[in-house]
Amino acid sequence: MEQLFEGVLEKTDEPYTVRLLGREHLRQILDLQETVVEELNDKSSLQPLSQEEFIYILEGNGLMIGAFTGSGLIAFRALLIPPMDDEHLGLDIGLATEELSQVIYQEISIVHPVYRGNRLQQTLAHLIMDEVKNLDQTFTYVACTVAPFNIPSMKDKFKQGMKIAALKHKYNQQLRYIFVKRLDGKGARELYKVEIVPIADVLKQQEFLKAGWRGISLESDDSVVYGKG
């Protein structure tokens, strides 16, 4: 498969490569996901993908890249071209029906516990979003869901310039932030109001979001900074 990047892990000076993933990597993908899920204290913080969902992406309905060392696959990220259904994130953030086909999802992002702290999430995020331009379809928005208090994932999304646009129950009534970013750079507004809201205060955040505020960053690890333009 095509190699996208060569690097060195910051903590161990171990070389690694980043490649596009295909169906032949499915077993490694599933094994790595299982390793990460087993290690989680709060299993609800991650929505793992099924084998069928990975196959759906790998067979042309999105994009997956992975980081490899001599030990094998140590991290991966996925983008999904979502089906047009009632659960579409574009509907949750107020897009018109005709805009839904312009949305691509950032799906699961996994790093082996042993290799955390090497900025692999950031590196893979940059590389996979750079590959979007090579897909057959053009996209205007990237969106994703993140569980409240999944601080590493929230930081990852904010670092990419994504903003919280909704806070709703998804995936069998599990509460999720819905992050979004315009890929064409349009729609950026100067913020003249800023408020800090505790992550635990769900109702207040939902009120802010309905009033047009957007989550723009974290304040420590227990509050979200909301801005309004």
pLDDT tens readout for residues 162-185: 999 999 999 788 899 999 999 988
- Tell whether 148 and 124 lie within a shared domain: yes
Among 103, 30, 117, which Cα is nearest to 66's? 30
Residue ending a domain, among 188, 203, 220, is: 188
- Tell whether 126 and 21 lie within a shared domain: yes
- Tell whether 218 and 117 lie within a shared domain: no
Where residue 42 falls among pLDDT bands split at 50, 70, 90?
Answer: confident
- Tell whether 195 and 156 lie within a shared domain: no
- Tell whether 153 and 121 lie within a shared domain: yes
Residue 191 has pLDDT above 80, yes or no: no
What pLDDT, on the 0 to 100 scale, is given for residue 2?
80
- Tell whether 127 and 160 lie within a shared domain: yes
What pLDDT, on the 0 to 100 scale, is given for residue 194?
93
- Tell whether 12 and 59 lie within a shared domain: yes
- Tell whether 129 and 213 lie within a shared domain: no
Q: What are the Cα distances from residue 135, in Å, to 2, 76, 79, 82, 186?
A: 14, 18, 11, 14, 21
What pLDDT, on the 0 to 100 scale, is given for residue 1?
60
Residue 69, judged by CB atoms within 10 A of its CB (0-12, 13-18, 19+), counts as: middle
- Tell whether 163 and 202 lie within a shared domain: no
Residue 111 has pLDDT above 70, yes or no: yes
Contact predicate 124/59, CB 8 Å: no
What pLDDT, on the 0 to 100 scale, is given for residue 108?
93
- Tell whether 120 and 200 lie within a shared domain: no
- Tell whether 83 and 167 lie within a shared domain: yes
What token pair was written down for 201? 């205060």
- Identify the domain containing residue 166 by its residue range: 3-188
Per residue in 87-97, pLDDT tens?
A: 999 999 999 99
Average pLDDT over residues 186-206: 89
Please give the share of the chain, as a percent, with pLDDT higher than 90.
85
Residue 57 has pLDDT above 90, yes or no: yes
- Number of separate domains in the chain: 2
